[in-house]
Amino acid sequence: MATVTLSTSTPVRTAQTPFANEKFVDFTAAENKRAMQAALAEVEINLGHEYDLVIGGRHLRTTDKIVSVNPARPAEVIGIHQKADAGHAEEAMQAAQAAFQTWSRTPVAERAALLFRAADLIRERKFEFCAWLTYEVGKNWAEADADVGETIDFLEFYGREALRLDKAATPIQFPGERNQLRYLPLGVGAVIPPWNFPFAIMAGMTSAAIVCGNTVILKPSVDAPTIAARFMSLLEEAGVPDGVVNLCVGEGPGFGSAIVAHPQTRFIAFTGSKAVGLEIHESAAKTRPGQIFIKRTILEMGGKDSIIVDGDCDLDAAIEGVTVSAFGFNGQKCSACSRVIVDESIYDIFCDRLQARVAKIATGDPVKNFYTGPVISERSYRKVLGYIEIGKGEGTVLNGGHAIETPEGGYYIAPTVIADVAPTARIALEEIFGPVLAVIKSKDFDDALAIANNTEYGLTGAIYSTSREKLDRAREEFHVGNLYLNRKCTGAMVGAHPFGGFNMSGTDSKAGGPDYLLLFTQAKSIAEKLGHASAAAEKQSELMGL
């Protein structure tokens, strides 16, 4: 089994080592701009390479391939990947189970050291990973940097949390006993991340699982497999033992379904759509022959997130917060503001000001650092344009409402604002996952809260108001897992904003929070009666004549 060896330059972390979020890169600084441009040029040279499946440390190739392309230039191949099938699912399970026997007994300090080493390696190559995100999923430089920074944060935070959990103790020591509480790994898990945060969420779910002693079958999104493959390579460099992480790029209906249904899959960590999440949950609930446990699902399934703009708010702050929340990364965040609920007393001026602000957004190739770029794929492109056509019949288009044609055939859609939308309209209730914002008028604050809570989701939300009474009411009555007061509803920071939602937004798993690792463990209580063992030992000694 491979061992984890920290370089002499790597600072040692403990459970008491303070955690701090990775600082954002200032791309207005000339040296950072040059570094990013150099990284983009270097990555461009390495586009189109072929990547292997990694199962039990073995690098495998298949006849069928999955090709990742640049959404800004779909003819440009980012990476060619092997297509795992149901047979690979069984192979990966066997490799992961074999690795579990030793990895689950590896000291927590060694497992955490692996995460810290990976964090250091990513930090050294931050611009390189930013560039890969820009090419593969169309993130502008700042969005890519935030994704890479969050990846580092997850590794650093979960490493510390694992060390802290290893020191857990029972609330009391019962008289006459020695009481212990240990958090043990579950077994083999499936990690199924999304394409929109293909580095942070993928690495976060994977690292949380393995630092607790589990082993993982990682099935990245087919829209962003290259980032996962490069992370796998980095883990190998950091010293991950064979079989602890098994990289299998495959289609959801084939490989993904096989892994979820496998009787030895102990847990499934998934981030993605509601429809797929519910299918996973249903499949996991079925007990199959040879299965001796209840599978655990850790699900984050999206949202239909609202920002309430009250009549007494700071209008400038509200306009900026809504714009950034709605159109950052083209609205392709589960936390994105897709509905803004505006008090009727300021509705007209808000719409005028919002229209002017959104009109200033520049859209273009993310390699050139335009604020908004393409949506992820042709399928997403057609879906979002379909919703825009629905929206034209449900409200008044203030901005956008159309595709943007480019010579390269990129999947560009103009930032779209549709006003005068009814609270029960389709574009007000259904997740679109693109640059489309519905503006809804509210009669008063009671009405605004009722509208905000009228969806089946409950992920993020925000309110702009100067009224302490209304802010306090929102704390109690705005039913979302992540609520923000007088700030945007995107940009959750590890440690500060544990992330996960209510209702159909998932299992409220709270990634990046102090409870998250508990989802990947099982607690074992051990009680030893004091004096009994020593008395038995003395009796045995007497019988042996010692």
Helix segments in 365-498, DSSP class H: 378-392, 426-429, 445-452, 468-477
DSSP 279: H
Q: How far is CA 419 from CA 391, 437, 539, in A?
A: 9, 8, 85
Annotated catalytic, 300? Answer: yes
**Tokens 């209510």 appear where?**
502
- Cα torsion at 271, 430, 361, 352 (round to 10°)? -150
The residues, any chain, with a CB within 8 Å of residue 501's CB and separated by 6 or more, are 300, 303, 457, 458, 459, 460, 480, 481, 482, 508
Annotated catalytic, 351? Answer: no
The residues, any chain, with a CB within 8 Å of residue 462's CB and separated by 6 or more, are 306, 307, 308, 321, 325, 337, 483, 484, 485, 486, 487, 488, 489
CA distance 165 to 341: 42
Structure tokens at 103: 């990895």
- Cα torsion at 168, 515, 155, 42 (round to 10°)? 170
Which residue of the set 22, 91, 156, 300 is catalytic? 300
Q: Which of 116, 58, 100, 118 is nearest to 82 (CA)?
A: 58
Q: Are 297 and 280 in contact (CB under 8 A)?
A: yes
CA distance 96 to 244: 6
CA distance 253 to 240: 29
Q: Are 457 and 300 in contact (CB under 8 A)?
A: no
CA distance 514 to 320: 31
89 φψ region: left (φ > 0), alpha (ψ -120 to 50), beta (else): alpha
The residues, any chain, with a CB within 8 Å of residue 450's CB and separated by 6 or more, are none
Which residue of the set 334, 337, 351, 489 is catalytic? 334
- Cα torsion at 198, 298, 112, 179 (round to 10°)? 170
Q: Facing residues of 82 across strands?
A: 65
CA distance 466 to 343: 14
Q: Which of 392, 442, 393 is nearest to 417 (CA)?
A: 392
Residue type, 457: Y
3 state DSSP class of 228: helix
Residues with catalytic function: 300, 334
